[in-house]
Amino acid sequence: MNRNGPLSLLFHAFFVLFMLAPLLVIIWMSFTPESLLVLPTTRLSLRWFYAILNSRQFLDAFGFSIILGVLAATVAMLLAVPAALAVARHRFIGREAIIALFLSPLVIPHVVLGVAFLRFFTSAGVQGSFIGLLGSHVLVIFPYGLRLVLASLVNADPALERAALSLGASRWTLFRRLTLPLMIPGVAGGWVISFIQSFDEVTMTVFVATPSSMTLPVRMYHYIEESIDPLVASVSTVVIIGTFLLMLLVDRIYGLDRMLVGKGR
């Protein structure tokens, strides 16, 4: 194959540096022994990581985000799996419209969704409640899970199913022995990506979160608005490392490049 020339490799090095620079700076900064934002050059310290343990607001938000993410991803997948089964293999009137509707949260600006949820929850009397926040997260992350389950169903060879049926398998056996195993990587990968999307969401959540129901990114956003100090850098480092570990997990169960580049549309 053609090799990349030196100019291409230089461009590539610049590109990778650009993509990683902000993350590396956060990680580096979070090991500072100083009480100000100074890059540590002579001495590293875990001081600001211990400080997280004494910060109620970040600990609470962290726990809240994890609970919300786990529940939202679970509910979203419970809804997405049957929906994917319905639209992947069968043709019916309105199928295209239903798929478009299910994927629409991907193209509606999250600010608009935030405004709409705030309006809806306020008039329904559930603004600031956990159930409202959970519902809004389920809706926003639904398309991500759906896409991965759909991809694993669509990429399967339909001849397999016909073969199973012609060999006398019942509908239920077919589902249990063939469709379900085919779906599992998509469902597991979809759950993890849904969790990550819920955990990361800020633009919509900032509208509906209240001080008693605040996710970690919203808490961090409000904190950064006031001041930036090494504490928020160390919290970010924990988030970066946690996300990295989840990525390794996705890579194992579904293939990270396959999920990121995505063929399920």
Residue list 14-73, contact with another protein (CB under 8 A):
15-16, 18-23, 25-26, 29, 37, 39
CB of 167 to another protein, least distance (A): 16
Check residue 80 for interaction with another protein (CB under 8 A).
yes
Contact stretch for another protein (CB under 8 A) within 44-52, 153-161, 173-181, 249-257: 249-257
- Binders of another protein among residues 114 to 153 (CB under 8 A) are 115-120, 123, 135-136, 138-139, 142
Q: Of 163 and 228, which has the nearer Cβ to another protein?
A: 228
CB of 264 to another protein, least distance (A): 12
CB of 232 to another protein, least distance (A): 6
CB of 62 to another protein, least distance (A): 12
For another protein (CB under 8 A), the number of binding residues is 87
SS (H, E, C) 102-156: HHHHHCCCHHHHHHHHHHHHHHHCCCCCHHHHHHHHHHHHHHHHHHHHHHHHHCC
Binding string, residues 161-180; x marks residues near another protein by CB under 8 A: --------------------
213: β partners: 210
Contact stretch for another protein (CB under 8 A) within 44-52, 87-95, 150-158, 178-186: 87-95
SS (H, E, C) the chain: CCCCCHHHHHHHHHHHHHHHHHHHHHHHHCCCCCCCCCCCCCCCCCHHHHHHHCCHHHHHHHHHHHHHHHHHHHHHHHHHHHHHHHHHHCCCCCHHHHHHHHHHHHCCCHHHHHHHHHHHHHHHCCCCCHHHHHHHHHHHHHHHHHHHHHHHHHCCCHHHHHHHHHCCCCHHHHHHHHHHHHHHHHHHHHHHHHHHHHHHCCCCHHHHCECCECCHHHHHHHHHHHCCCHHHHHHHHHHHHHHHHHHHHHHHHCCHHHHHHCCCC
- Binders of another protein among residues 184 to 243 (CB under 8 A) are 196, 199-200, 202-203, 206-207, 216-217, 220-221, 224-225, 228, 232-233, 236, 239-240, 243
Which of 43, 54, 56, 92 is close enough to bind another protein by CB under 8 A?
Answer: 92
Q: Of 70 and 85, which has the nearer Cβ to another protein?
A: 85
Which of 85, 126, 178, 249 is close enough to bind another protein by CB under 8 A?
Answer: 85
CB of 43 to another protein, least distance (A): 18
